[in-house]
Structure formats: structure tokens, C-alpha cells
Structure 1
């Protein structure tokens, strides 16, 4: 589901919740006045306050749907986080109100008339509010809306307050009005905990804190497995309403042109999108890595080691010598037969695949066709030109720092 569609789904859920709460508050208020149940009247007032909470969430989600403007280039998505913080404060205030009501009823327990009618309205309220909370939880979790989840949490705490009304009415019927006050005090503790937790998460999100550290490590590991990425230097993610914005700095496996940087950036963004839901934009800074350790592939006509004569072909050459160097100093070498030399078709491409499997990051050639060139280029293997006045491997290695980079096919 696209972000805009998710925002519309969240706004629809808030609108439906608001309508249901208006209907419920009217029922509880009417029955409360008719039966004389002060707890049911108080619960109706409480539900009336929840109407404004749902309206606030609806407004926040509708604001998030607005297109970016000159003053809000990142969109209005954080309106949703602001509303979530506002709702969490209302949750805490609801807990304070419940404590106040509990202390009041301890001193002056109420007598209820038409107890059956009052009990029926209270039970209906519990069922309706519970259904509303689960509906908003489901939609909120599906779209990742902090505000809608906070509102669902608020509704869920209202289930308990409505259950207190049920207990109060039953207690009145059984001659035990003190059950009301005891239940309210217990529920208020739960409400405070939920409210503080939601407020903390909303405030941290507004301050661009990223709370899911495990996802950072998962992204780092996934991106570092992309061919052409040496390492990930920095990852920064921040949530704005339902969407996520990110920045990443990576080091490529050697130098690469702008086209390859663009391709690599797009590949990284696709990997991150698989890990982070609703990724709106990822800025990738690709810095070329310095290759201190080189594994060089050189086509040779024979297997005489560093005295081997150079070959001017990529696919037809019978042997390749692999030369390992560190900080321009020779470490070791070995000569290997070219398994693609006797093939009739695609010798160059198959040779390129063979060299890639061997971990080569530099190849020195005289001429190169389009197929092997793009294969080497896409694998971040640097292609150096072989000079005409050099005959053997030893002399070529001594001039390694002077060789030009081949940037396009030569055949």
C-alpha cells in the first residue's frame, strides 16, 4: 500500500471512530441522566473528550496528506507525530481524572436507579469501545501510524474505565459501591504507564531519534554484501509520520564513474526499501575506496612466472597470471590456465566471469570488447591498458603506476 493510500485509510478509521464515539456518548449520557448513574454520566463526558482526540488524529492524518510546499519540503508527515504526542498527554490526563473520580466516590458513593438499564448501557459501551480500539489498532499497525495506534491505546484504556462503570453498577446492585473506587485506582496505574510510554516514543520521533537499532545493523550487513561496496561508513534514518527518510555513506570497491555511482545508489536504495517500510527517500553518498591490496590479472602466453610473455587477447589467451600486491609491493603470484580459451562463443565474457570468481580487482589488457568490458565494469574491476613496448610480466609490474585506465570498449 502506498503512503498516501495508508494515510487515507488511517483518516477513514479516525473518521469512523469519531462517528461511533458521538453515538456512544449520546447513549451513555441519556441513560446516565435517566437512571441517575453518576459514573455512567462521567463516562459519557469522558467519551465526549475522546471525540476530540479522534478528531485530532483525523486532522493530523489529513494534514499529512498535503503535498510538500516551499516551507515544508519534507512534507507535513510529522503532523501525525504531533497528534500522537497530544493524544498521549490526554491519556495521562484521563488517568488523573479517573483517580479524582475514585477518590470522590469513596467519600460519596452514588445510588443508582433503573440499574438494569444502566448496566446494559455500560456493557454495550465496553463492547463498542473494545471493538473500536481493535479496529484502530489493526489499521494503525497495518499502516504504521503512531497517532492512530496512540488513539487505539487511548480507546483501549477507555475499555477499562467503562468496565469500572459496569463494576460500579453491579457493586451498587450488591451493596458494594467501594468496588468502583478500587477498580479505578488500579486502572489509573495502567493508563499512566501507557500514556508515558506513548508520549516518550512520540517525543523521540519528533526529535528524529531512531529507536530500532537492530534494523541499522541488518541494513549494514545487507548493503555490504552488494557487489561494489567495500563498507558502509554511516547510516542515518529518521521517521516522519508514516514515512522514513535516510542518509547513507558507503565506500565503493575502487573508483567508479557517475553512471556506476547512480546504478549502485539505486541498488542500495532497493535493498534498504526491503528492510524499512515506507522509505520515502534515501540519499546515498558513494565515496571511492582506495585499493591498497590489488589482485591483478594479466593474460600471458606461457607459464614461466614473472618472465612469462604477455598475451594481447582476453578470451583466447591460454593462461592468466594473478599478481597480488600491497602498497605497490609484490606479495605473491601464480599462473592459472584460462578455462574459457577453447570455447567457440563468448570467450571474453566467460573469461571475465572466471576472473571475477578469482577475486580480481584489476585486469591489464591490450584491447577489450563490449561484453567483457561491461562485465568488468559492473563488477568494479579496474581495467588498465597494456603498453606496446612491454613484453613480459616483470617489466609490466614495474610500470603499474604509469598505466592508463580504459573507460570504454576498444574493439
Structure 2
């Protein structure tokens, strides 16, 4: 009975090595968040000082966006910290899904920053005012672009290396922030040429850009919450399983993200004449190939079904439950 159970449950690499890899991934993610948070906080502080004496609502919108981007590091950092905790008898898959909850918070923060920026721009449209120190406003826009572009590259690189979609999304968010920072230059240039409406108009354009980021971030988090994966990963898993010696064909393949790691549940169809030990060896090799062939896959549950005899229904007792 014990051997039969092994055919139905995950066959993994050394668990300690997997745990070490997971901890290192989370540690790298937390370092990336800490460094980028510090840089964006300094960038936003510099811009806030210039907003105070210039009165530019375009720069205000960009500053609010940078503050929101910096604050997104906090829920993500907490999620990475929770993800390092061991699984328990209640949370049997661990705490990796905390990243998805952090993603929901990030979406809400982006929405608030868009609302505040839009409100400030509309108020200024209704009551146009000249901005002061247009040169300093332009300089602040360049500072915002430089800070966000560096953070974007850093977050995207680390996020892709550790498999964190939330960190990659946050990096893409920072890159968009950089482009909106460049838009501040347009507002400053218009103000310098005696066009006070240029500043609030650019502020509204920045608000629109934030809304596009919001849409993309919400879509990505929705996919994670609904356990969506790239269909190409499913096709690759099916191909890998079909190439395992002893596997006649692959059955159902299910993949899901838990934090920044993948887990799989797969079915394989085997020769009914194989012994239990031989079937177990095929299942082990199937998981082994999946772990090496699919990026960031940590474990797979491999269910083995016999291919025959003809007319046999091996799951008859379960049909009513499916």
C-alpha cells in the first residue's frame, strides 16, 4: 500500500535543496525591493520639494505616482517574507499566495494615485496658474525618469530570474512612471512659453498613463488569482511527458503559480504490464524531466494510469464524483 501511494504523490529532488532555492529567491526579491524603495523614495522626496515651490500639478502627479510606486514595495516585501515560512498543517501549500494579495494592494495603490493626480489636474484646469521655476520642474522630471528607469531594469531583471510576476509587473510599472516623468518636461516647457494650461493638461495625460498601468496590473493580478498560466507551458509539459521512456501518452496537465514558483498535477498512461516498482520509476523520471524542463517548477504530483486492459474503467468508483 505504501508503494502504491508513492505512484500517486510527488517525487521531488532533495527537499532541503528546494527550500534553500525558494529562500534565496525570496531573499533576492526582498533585496531588490529594498534598494528600489530607497531610490524611489529619494526621487519622490526631491520632486516633492520642487512641487512645493513651483506649484506644478504635472510634477505633483508624477510625484504621487512615484510615491505610490515606492509604497508598492511594502506589501510585496511582506509577501516575500511570508513566502519564506514553512508550510503548516493548515497552510499545506505554504504562504506563497501572499504575493497575489500584495498584487491586489498594489492595484489599489495605483488607483488612488491616479485619482489624486487627476483631481489635482482638473482643479488646475478650472483655475489656471503660472508655475514657478520651470527649469527646476524640468530637472525634477529628468530625475524622475532616471530613478524609475534604473528601478525598472533592476526589478524586471530580478523578477524574471526568480520567477516573480508581481516583481516584473512592478518593474514595468516603474518604467511607465519614467515615461510619465519625461512628460513633465512638456508641461514645464509650455509654462516657460507662457502657456499655463500646458501643466494641467500634461497632468491629465499622466493620469491617463497611470490608468493604463492600472489596467495592465489588474489584468495580471486577475490571471494569478484565477490560476492562469501561459498555455505554452502546458504544451511544453505535455511534450516533456510524452518523451519519458515508458509513457504511452500524457493525460491531463494542470499548472498553477504559488508565489513565484510553479506546481504541477499531471497524468501519465503506462503499460499495464509494468510492475509497481517500474511504474514508480517512470513517474519519478516524469517529474524529474518536468522540473528540469519547466522554468521555476518546484514540484509535480504525477498520477499513473494503466493503459488497459481493453474496456476496463479504472476510475469507475470516482465517475459520480467528477
Do both proteins adopt the same fold according to a TM-score greater than 0.5, normalized to the shorter chain? yes
Residue of structure 1 in register with 2:73 after alignment: 54
Q: CA deviation at 1:187?
A: 4.2
Residue of structure 2 in register with 1:302 after alignment: none
- Asked if the contact 2:58–2:202 (Cα under 8 Å) also holds between the matched residues in 1, the reply is no
Which of the two has higher C-alpha Rg? 1
**Cα distance between partner residues in 2 of 1:106 and 1:145:** 40
1:182 corresponds, among 201, 211, 236, to 201
Residue of structure 2 in register with 1:235 after alignment: 253
**Cα distance between partner residues in 2 of 1:12 and 1:134:** 14
CA separation of 1:105/1:161 partners in 2, compared to 1, >3 Å: closer, same or farther?
Answer: farther
Residue of structure 1 in register with 2:50 after alignment: 31
Residue of structure 1 in register with 2:219 after alignment: 200
- Asked if the contact 1:137–1:149 (Cα under 8 Å) also holds between the matched residues in 2, the reply is yes
Secondary structure at 1:2 match in 2: helix
Residue of structure 1 in register with 2:264 after alignment: 246
Residue of structure 1 in register with 2:59 after alignment: 40
Secondary structure at 2:291 match in 1: helix
CA separation of 1:29/1:94 partners in 2, compared to 1, >3 Å: closer, same or farther?
Answer: closer
Residue of structure 1 in register with 2:117 after alignment: 98
**Cα distance between partner residues in 2 of 1:290 and 1:195:** 52
Q: Over residues 143-176 of structure 1, what are the superposed CA-to-partner deviations in whole Å (9 max), with x where a residue is unaligned?
A: 2212212222332232233223222222111112
- Report the structure, 1 or 2, having the larger helix content: 2
- Asked if the contact 1:84–1:151 (Cα under 8 Å) also holds between the matched residues in 2, the reply is no
So what's the TM-score if we normalise by structure 2?
A: 0.82
Q: CA deviation at 1:267?
A: 0.8
**Cα distance between partner residues in 2 of 1:117 and 1:214:** 49
| Structure 2 segments unaligned to the other structure (5+ residues) | 1-19, 311-322
Number of aligned positions between the proteins: 291
CA separation of 1:22/1:221 partners in 2, compared to 1, >3 Å: closer, same or farther?
Answer: closer
Structure 2 residue 181 is the aligned partner of structure 1 residue 162: yes
Q: Which moved more, 1:274-283 or 1:157-166?
A: 157-166
RMSD over equivalenced CA pairs, Å: 2.3
Any runs of at least 4 consecutive aligned residues in structure 1 with deviations exceeding 4 A, and if so which? none
So what's the TM-score if we normalise by structure 1?
A: 0.65
CA separation of 1:221/1:36 partners in 2, compared to 1, >3 Å: closer, same or farther?
Answer: closer
**Cα distance between partner residues in 2 of 1:96 and 1:148:** 23
Residue of structure 2 in register with 1:18 after alignment: 37
Residue of structure 2 in register with 1:132 after alignment: 151
Secondary structure at 2:72 match in 1: helix
- Asked if the contact 1:15–1:54 (Cα under 8 Å) also holds between the matched residues in 2, the reply is yes
- Asked if the contact 1:35–1:118 (Cα under 8 Å) also holds between the matched residues in 2, the reply is yes
Q: CA deviation at 1:217?
A: 2.3
- Asked if the contact 1:247–1:284 (Cα under 8 Å) also holds between the matched residues in 2, the reply is yes
Residue of structure 2 in register with 1:225 after alignment: 243
CA separation of 1:227/1:167 partners in 2, compared to 1, >3 Å: closer, same or farther?
Answer: same
**Cα distance between partner residues in 2 of 1:183 and 1:41:** 11
1:216 corresponds, among 234, 239, 244, to 234
CA separation of 1:155/1:109 partners in 2, compared to 1, >3 Å: closer, same or farther?
Answer: farther
1:152 corresponds, among 158, 162, 171, to 171
CA separation of 1:282/1:132 partners in 2, compared to 1, >3 Å: closer, same or farther?
Answer: same
Q: Over residues 301-351 of structure 1, what are the superposed CA-to-partner deviations in whole Å (9 max), with x where a residue is unaligned?
A: xxxxxxxxxxxxxxxxxxxxxxxxxxxxxxxxxxxxxxxxxxxxxxxxxxx
- Report the structure, 1 or 2, having the larger strand content: 1
- Asked if the contact 2:57–2:200 (Cα under 8 Å) also holds between the matched residues in 1, the reply is no
Ranked by relative contact order (alpha carbons within 8 Å, sequence separation 6 or more), the top structure is 2
